[in-house]
Amino acid sequence: MMRFLAGLILTLAMSLGATVVAGAQPARHVATELVADRQGVAPGETLHVALHQKIQKGWHTYWRNSGDSGEPTRITWDLPAGWRAGEIIWPAPRRIPVGPLMNYGYEDDVLLATPLTAPANARPGEKVTLRAQVSLLVCAEVCVPEDSTLTLDLPVTATGAAEDPRWGRAIATALAAAPRPAGLAAVFQARPAGVSLAVTGPGLKGADMAGAYFYPFDSTVIDHARPQVIERGPEGLTLTLAPGYAFQGGKTPASLAGVLAVGGHAYEIAATAGTLPPGASGLGPPPARSAGATDLGLAAAALFAFLGGLILNLMPCVFPILAMKAASLVGHGGSERTVAHRHGLAFGAGAVATFLALAGGLIALKAAGSAVGWGFQLQSPPVVAVLALLMLAVALNLSGLFELGTSLQGAGAGLASRGGLAGAFFTGALAVIVAAPCTAPFMGPALGWALTQTPVAALTVFLALGVGFALPFVLVAFAPGLLSRLPRPGPWMELFRKALAFPMYAAAAWLAWVLAQQAGAEDLARLFAGAVLVGLAAWLAGLAQRRAAAGDKALSLTLAAGLAAGLALALVVWPQNKAAELRSEPYSPARLEALRAEGRPVFVNYTAAWCVSCQVNDKVALSTHQVASAFARHKVAYLKADWTKRDATIAADLASHGRAGVPLYLVYGSGRGEGAILPSILTPDIVVKAVEAADKR
């Protein structure tokens, strides 16, 4: 009743105003009002009226596709006779990651503009009232639905009215930045590696593709939380998307529509199902001859690849590996030129062979229909994790925690740290694996051209790239003048060697960061546990070596080191167990009372499909074997109060516990006491401890 009276008083107050007066209703987390781009409207004219949301810091509302959870803002217009309302013009959203989920929405301020058209028979001099019912969801740790009725009074003018001094420019700016079709051609194809979305057109030529992202209109077509892999091309780009429910069971949607954000701009696209255009992702025959960047020719592409390989040596991601091998060459000094020559050639052979092997694998995957690009070996989280542990092991070796032999007898882990020709060969291989994601100048056009050609032409370009990459190191090994200036071996070498460990630690940390971007906190925790095991293995191996050097038996320590290393490897590559499922019943007050009368502990989950915190808690806490075991052990009944569709009973329950939204978690003991309220953000330990405590009450 009070809310109705407040709205009535506000409407009366606005009716006394002169020109454009918006109805602003303070909300708990979002202040909303209607604002117009003009001070009036002429008969038959269209103006834009926007819903202005001023969102409380730390909270957010949602785009038309909210992502993994949430609900879009809805506006229902109640207009005078003859008026027409168009669709909301949505600004480009931003990504809002929450735990394992990815949502799309807005923070701070946002204007949702709608075109409104006055009837041709509107009478100048009269005042019209535009009314809108607004329903929105605002979320932080909890999600709160907020509804409001907003009004806006506008005079009808004989001719076009002036721009509103406060909101006219802001609305015009929002409309100019809103995603619009821009003549881009888009096609998608479901393939083994995911859904490939190729977008080409003049508007993308020269655009900065870093951070490009596709926001689909339909929430079922992609897995929002998975990364989108970007592959650049001369005419646009190709994104590899993780398929959603719409692609399950071999189904393919007829279209894939949404917003492509790239280079600081946002474009509406509508992709059709079909075959990717030639050159979009390295499939199909070579593109037709044109003046574009794709028409390099074999000689030019090979030259570009050679220059790119030379420059690649200067990339930060390559230095740690080359620095490690530089320590080996310094150890030979100028007195062992023949050995240095062999090491240089072995390094070059390892680098070139690995470039050709990676190229062959990439070409084979392309032919099989996989959407992969250069640096694809770092798109697999298990590969990234293994490389991070390898970098850590090399760093621990350089730090002196354990030693590897200086001959072929040192077979085992850390091949790149070995001495002899094998060590030089594997150093070249390891340098390529880590260097490949760094695209040096000239490499992009050359690789883009190579992957649209025949296998022979492509391998020729990759061979040139490998030669360019290996050449500086080989030349150093063969240049007598340079080698003679290298310092002689001495005690300083141990200090120098240990100093070189720190770039390797940095490389391991960088790979851990890459893994965190790909797979999230859970896989990062597994990597950290694996890193501890690698450290333990290195320490045990060093201890075994020192005992063996003293003439003592060290077989048990060596086996323990191998076991720790094996466990570390298994930890980062072994598939994770599937989430556990808790059997739940629909909540009702009567069912709650019946279960409590039986003397059973009860867990009540007040949730909703649009509640981001609810979905995160379900994935990281409730859907775990730890919680499922605790529920079974204590015979806990699980009731789910689903508020996805508003329910007066659930709303009353929330209010009785001082809550305006979900989530809310209550745990009732086997007695008749009050339920315990759990935090809004759950962990498995919180739930298990609450259940154990409830069973004792």
- Give the model confidence (pLDDT) of 172-198 as tens digits: 999 999 999 988 999 999 887 789 999
Looking at residue 83, what is its pLDDT? 95
Q: Which of 168, 178, 130, 173 is nearest to 37 (CA)?
A: 168
Locate 30 and state its tokens.
């979002």
Query: What distance, in Å, lies between the first and last C-alpha atoms of the chain?
Result: 41
Res 450: pLDDT: 64
Query: At residue 171, what are phi and psi to the nearest 5 degrees?
Result: -70, -40
The model carries a pTM of 0.55
Residue 378 is classified by DSSP as: G
Beta bridge partners of 148: 134
Comparing 283-287, 573-577, 622-626, which segment has the lowest mean pLDDT? 283-287
Read off the tokens for 586.
């629909």
> Two tokens at 112?
């949702």
- Candidate from 194-203, 511-520, 656-665 with smallest mean pLDDT: 511-520
Query: What is the mean predicted confidence (pLDDT) over 616-639?
Result: 88
> What average pLDDT does the segment 42-68 reach?
95
Q: Which two three-digit tokens encode residue 306?
A: 């050679």
On the question of pLDDT at 55 being above 90, the answer is: yes
Q: 487 or 390: which carries more pLDDT confidence?
A: 390
Q: CA 48, CA 114: separation in Å to the nearest integer?
A: 5
Q: What was the pLDDT predicted at 438?
A: 52
Peptide bond into 663 cis (omega under 30): yes
pLDDT confidence band for 278 (50 / 70 / 90): low
Q: Write out the two tokens for 327.
A: 């320590």
The pairing of beta strand 185-191 with beta strand 127-139: unpaired
Strands of 222-311 (E only): list them: 229-232, 236-241, 255-262, 265-273
* DSSP assignment of 664-676: EEEEE-SSSSPPE
Report the 10 Å Cβ neighbour count for 411: 11
CB atoms within 10 A of CB 641: 24
* DSSP assigned state of 409: G
Percent of the chain with pLDDT over 90: 33
